[in-house]
Structure 1
Amino acid sequence: MQGCRSVRQALCALSTMMCVCVATAAEQQLTSIGSLTMVGGKIKQCSLGYRTYGTLAADQSNVVLVPTWLTGRTADQIDMIGPGKLVDTDRWYVIALDAVGNGVSCSPSNSKSNPRLKFPQFGIRDMVKAQHRLLALNLGIDHAHAIVGISMGGMQALQWAVMYPDFASNIVTIVATPQPTASDLRAWNAEIAAIEGTPGWNGGDYVPGTPFRRLTALHTESLWTPEHVAAKAVASKRPSADTLHGTQTSQSFSAVDWYRQLQAMTSFGLARDGDMAALAGKIKARLLIVTSEQDRLVDPAPSKALAAQTRAKLLVLDNDCGHMAPACEPGKVDRALKAFLK
């Protein structure tokens, strides 16, 4: 969920084995996984988008999955994945995954049989179930060295760790949460309300090009601390503009997709009654957890509590960039991730 111009641009500032697969380009790919039953109902046909980078080892030991954040697409991750970048394709075979509802994979905005809000509500669990089917049945991948997720991508990574505890050896979450807090839900539900309150929303049957100005303003305000926004405004002598993961998307990202992905986040939660010890008992993978002390969009407390229960590697960023803290200290994140994955 997340400028620098976007998290992909910010974070990028961040063998003798026989190879069985080489991906020299990262073209957008789309594959059908058949019907999909989700929390709100069933769709007869779902396709998932993905991109592959690097060289797959013969024993498939170097697979790293990177799911997308809220309103993110794999096209937005290009600058954080590659040789020497945050997820280094000189070392890892990376599969970037377009989450359900992002406008590339099956979504309210592109479904012919279930258009707009006729597309059933889905959860983070449904995103991961669809990804597992793609990997196991379509791509022949049955294990990953790691899953690396930012914001809503990190929620998917943790869902993977619980649903398929033996699938990934390592899980990396960056400004994500295992369990939304009341403050998280207030922020996310405010965005849902901003969508519903937009003139012309019409229950999702809005005219293309309808501006969702309150939504983009709320989202931008949540990404940064007021101190950072004020400092940027003074420095530039004009208001700070942000284009992270969809704050420009009143034009480029469908509001119905944003709406359903927000609903997925608000319904997410892995720790019943906040019991992090019980949650930790379900997770077999090693964890690297990166949080932002001043995050106003995703409360860092649950992630830090989970880290304490699992003896996870924990990196706490404390700057005035809020949810965008990793973009302001990309070197720290880059070093922590590379040390953890090697």
Structure 2
Amino acid sequence: MIPYANKHKMTGDDVTENAYYSQDLHGPYEMHDIGDLPLEEGGTLRGCQLAVARHGTLNAAKDNVILIPTWYSGTSKIMEQVYIGPGRALDTDKYHIIIVNQIGNGLSTSPHNTAGPSGAGHFPHVRIGDDVRAQHRLLTEKLGISSLALVVGGSMGAQQTYEWAVRYPDMVRRAAPIAGTARNTQHDFLFTQTLVDAITSDPGFNHGFYASPADVRAGLLRHAKMWAVMGWSTEFYQHGRMAQLGFSSLDDFVVNFMFGYFGVMDPNDLICMAWKWQRGDVARMAGGDLAAALGRVKAKMFVMPISHDMFFPVADCERECKLVPGAQLRVLNSIDGHLALFGADPGFMPQLEGHLRELLAS
């Protein structure tokens, strides 16, 4: 069942049923109705719902909160499985960790679970700033939280981390954008467009009004292959990482891992997230002046690119790091490239944990 479907009286004509987005696979998470959310590009998400996973205990001062926004295609579940836990840097015995699923990721309000007339192919454009304003409303108005010990996220989660640090500088004490930039580059915009085009060029996409993701199988497979090209590095393939992960051939890896991962997802949801990924830019809060926007940051910040990332290369992240007062560049070494974020490289997490412990101790 789609979360909160009965509340919105969704019908088969209004939504695309998808059992992948369920409590069974991605829970436990709570649904929070934050009310109507006017969007920066125009339009409104009525009764905007945020899917939220909370771990650890909120202290009396409400100042031990770590916020984790999600990345493209990801949900709170992978953050729970890979990044947090007792005794970890993101310690659930010490901190109250709040993982908020971004709008459009399939758990929170998304194209596939929004009733007509504004669902599916009519879902409005959402920006990173809309996500962060929604999260701010949740934290301050619903949960009574006014201070964040840390905001940390990877990829699109890094875009949201930057947005938080610039938009609400007095609320964010520490920030750790991992494998992401404050302003998306033209190169990354163009590549992300190929991900979108791979889906929308499938005749089964039908302008976003398909009956099932299975109707868009060819498009989702092309999308998965493009991720196989850019998500991992050339060294990932040269060093036999596919075999180390249990795959016997390139075809085995592409079909059973990459397509196995993306093929069950809703195409409109992926396009919603890709559109805002392409347009991530904190400079919008300073009249287009990136230096002025990043100069507003008061948080202690560690900028953490991944050495072999082909989406957000180290040089792009380093240029922005120099614009943030007091920020430090901490490169995470992994030949897995951008998708080292999945945590499959055993050398990746110890590096990340060490930097986060240092940041949290500062």
TM-score range, shorter chain: 0.7 to 0.9
Distance 1:65 1:338 in 2: 15
**Which residue does 1:65 correspond to in 2?**
67
Match of 1:132 among 115, 122, 136: 136
Contact 1:246 1:253 (C-alpha < 8 Å) held by counterparts: no
| Alignment of 1:85 onto 2:100 | no
Distance 1:253 1:85 in 2: 30
| Alignment of 1:288 onto 2:311 | no
List 4+ stretches of structure 1 deviating above 4 A.
Answer: 233-237, 242-247, 272-276
Once the two structures are overlaid, the 10-residue window that deviates more, 205-214 or 170-179, is: 205-214
Distance 1:270 1:202 in 2: 33
Query: Are the structure 2 counterparts of residues 229 and 246 from structure 1 closer, same or farther at C-alpha, using a change threshold of 3 Å?
Result: closer
Contact 2:161 2:176 (C-alpha < 8 Å) held by counterparts: yes
Match of 1:257 among 269, 275, 280: 269
Q: CA deviation at 1:99?
A: 0.6
Amino acid at match of 1:128: V
> TM-score scaled by structure 1?
0.86
Q: CA deviation at 1:199?
A: 3.0
**Which residue does 1:21 correspond to in 2?**
none
**Which residue does 1:267 correspond to in 2?**
279
* Count of aligned residue pairs for this structure pair: 317
Q: CA deviation at 1:250?
A: 4.1
Amino acid at match of 1:229: Y
Structure with the bigger RCO (C-alpha within 8 Å, sep 6+) is 1
Match of 1:321 among 336, 344, 351: 336
**Which residue does 1:219 correspond to in 2?**
227
Once the two structures are overlaid, the 10-residue window that deviates more, 233-242 or 324-333, is: 233-242
> TM-score scaled by structure 2?
0.81
**Which residue does 1:33 correspond to in 2?**
34
Gaps of 5+ in 2: 1-26
Contact 1:177 1:299 (C-alpha < 8 Å) held by counterparts: no
Q: CA deviation at 1:237?
A: 4.2
Report the 3-state secondary structure (helix = DSSP H, G, I; strand = E; otherwise coil) of the residue aligned with 1:216.
Answer: helix
**Which residue does 1:231 correspond to in 2?**
239
Query: Please, what is the CA RMSD of the aligned residues?
Result: 2.3
Distance 2:264 2:137 in 1: 28
Query: Are the structure 2 counterparts of residues 86 and 184 from structure 1 closer, same or farther at C-alpha, using a change threshold of 3 Å?
Result: farther
Q: CA deviation at 1:173?
A: 0.8
Q: How does 1:160-171 map to 2 (within 5 A)?
A: 160-171=164-175
Distance 1:246 1:203 in 2: 24
Match of 2:317 among 287, 295, 303: 303
Amino acid at match of 1:78: E
Identity level (%): 30
Contact 1:179 1:274 (C-alpha < 8 Å) held by counterparts: no
Q: CA deviation at 1:45?
A: 1.6
Report the 3-state secondary structure (helix = DSSP H, G, I; strand = E; otherwise coil) of the residue aligned with 1:283.
Answer: coil
Contact 1:177 1:300 (C-alpha < 8 Å) held by counterparts: no
Is the strand fraction higher in 1 or 2?
A: 1
Distance 1:146 1:245 in 2: 32
Match of 1:101 among 101, 104, 109: 104
Query: Are the structure 2 counterparts of residues 245 and 28 from structure 1 closer, same or farther at C-alpha, using a change threshold of 3 Å?
Result: farther
Distance 2:352 2:340 in 1: 10
Amino acid at match of 2:109: C
Distance 1:103 1:40 in 2: 21
Distance 2:224 2:169 in 1: 36
Contact 1:123 1:264 (C-alpha < 8 Å) held by counterparts: yes
**Which residue does 2:191 correspond to in 1?**
187
Q: CA deviation at 1:324?
A: 2.8
Distance 2:127 2:196 in 1: 15
| Alignment of 1:112 onto 2:119 | no
Distance 1:63 1:256 in 2: 32
Q: CA deviation at 1:243?
A: 9.9
Q: CA deviation at 1:161?
A: 1.1
Gaps of 5+ in 1: 1-25
Distance 2:139 2:256 in 1: 28
Query: Are the structure 2 counterparts of residues 76 and 317 from structure 1 closer, same or farther at C-alpha, using a change threshold of 3 Å?
Result: closer
**Which residue does 2:56 correspond to in 1?**
54
Distance 2:191 2:86 in 1: 36
Query: Are the structure 2 counterparts of residues 260 and 243 from structure 1 closer, same or farther at C-alpha, using a change threshold of 3 Å?
Result: farther
